[in-house]
Amino acid sequence: MVTEREKMIIGECYNANDRELVDARQNARRLTKMFNDSLPEEGSKRKRIIEKLFGKTGDKFYIESPFHCDYGFNIEWGENSYANFDCIILDCAPVKIGKNVLIAPNVRIFTATHPIDPRLRLQGVEFAKPVTIEDNVWIGGGTIINPGVTIGENSVIGSGSVVTKSIPPSVVAAGNPCKVIKNIDHR
């Protein structure tokens, strides 16, 4: 028997009102409140909270508060990666943040989505698609990253972008919808 949590993580339609998922969201709310209420100088306490919340972290990372997420256990946070103020991650599916990633203020990362058919939406089912941000990426302020997107290593996403499709490695991309503007020359 596949649980609603397992269905959610693998991208099948699931019931978000399942007791296990409701409890997991409540746990994430409790931990993010503890994190957001902590003082900036309480670095080790803040780190322990995030390590308890996330599925995996690097040893060295920093996240500014406020920070919010749905579950936390689906987030893999890479070594030396940073998120500025007001980051929101809806992690119904896995969210993988690579090493040396810079996330500017007010960035939203969404894995949760809903059926297009209104009859299915009215039944309360939803599904999720994973998001991957590879190593050495810089995400500009106010960017929205939609379900199922991968942002390739070394790329830069311009502020205010809405990323609806995957972005290749080593490019600058921006806009709504986000499109490649130029390649990054590593010479």
- CATH number, domain of 116, equals 2.160.10.10
Q: Which residue has the tokens 């203020």?
A: 105
Q: How far apart are the C-alpha atoms of 136 and 173, rounded to whole Å?
A: 14
pTM: 0.95
Give 1 or 11, the one with higher predicted confidence.
11
Query: Alpha-carbon torsion 65, 68, 71, 73, what sign?
Result: negative
Per-residue pLDDT reduced to its tens digit, 91-133: 999 999 999 999 999 999 999 999 999 998 888 889 999 999 9
Q: What is the pLDDT of residues 48-59, one digit of tens each?
A: 999 999 999 999
Residues belonging to the active site: 114
What pLDDT, on the 0 to 100 scale, is given for residue 120? 86
The string of DSSP letters for 119-164 reads: HHHHTTEEEE--EEE-TT-EE-TT-EE-TT-EE-TT-EE-TT-EE-
Q: Is the pLDDT of residue 187 over 80?
A: no
Whether the CB-CB separation of 98 and 134 falls below 8 Å is answered with yes
Question: Which residue range(s) make up the domain with 140?
Answer: 4-183
Looking at every residue in the chain, the average pLDDT score rounds to 96
- Band of pLDDT at residue 60, cut at 50, 70 and 90: very high
Res. 185: pLDDT tops 90: no
Measured distance between the N- and C-terminal CA atoms of the chain, rounded to whole angstroms: 53
State residue 186's pLDDT score.
Answer: 74
Q: Residue 168 burial (CB < 10 Å; 0-12/13-18/19+)?
A: middle
Instruction: Look at residue 155 and tell me whether its pLDDT is greater than 90.
Output: yes
The domain total for the chain is 1
Asked if residues 181 and 167 have their Cβ atoms less than 8 Å apart, the reply is no
| Neighbouring C-beta atoms of residue 29, cutoff 10 Å | 14
